[in-house]
Amino acid sequence: MIGLLIITHNNIGAELIETATAMLGVCPVMVAVLSVKPDSDPDAVLREAQHSIVGLNRGAGVLVLTDMYGSTPSNIAAHLVNEKQVKVVAGINLPMLVRVLNYPQLDLHQLADKALSGGRDGILLCKP
């Protein structure tokens, strides 16, 4: 099973996983959440992320979801793409996370694709 690492500003990741788990009634994957505060040391968070990947990877890999591309959390996550069996997707939102949690049996590449499609498909213009 794929492990899931969420790296976001402040408590965004924790709130998203809590909400998605409440919606689904269960969290079907192992998850770790790292919160990047304004005063966080990026190098220390990167070391924590690398440690989390080791703990989450049970042989099938780790999907890393992060928030705004180009921000500190996503820059930290970008350093993880060189790790073995890691995929990083930026732009986390609730539809993306729910999609990922609904397909825990997929392999790492397929799950990264599901994350991308869930994120895109969850953004709509609401019309009257």
Q: What is the β-pairing status of strands 30-36 and 3-9? A: parallel
**pTM greater than the 0.95 cutoff:** yes
51 burial (CB, 10 Å; 0-12 / 13-18 / 19+) is exposed
* pLDDT (tens digit per residue) in 88-104: 999 999 999 999 999 99
Q: Is the pLDDT of residue 84 over 90?
A: no
Is 82 or 71 the better-scoring residue by pLDDT? 71
**Residues 20-35 pLDDT 10s:** 999 999 999 999 999 9
pLDDT of residue 91: 97
CATH architecture of 3-105: 3-Layer(aba) Sandwich (3.40)
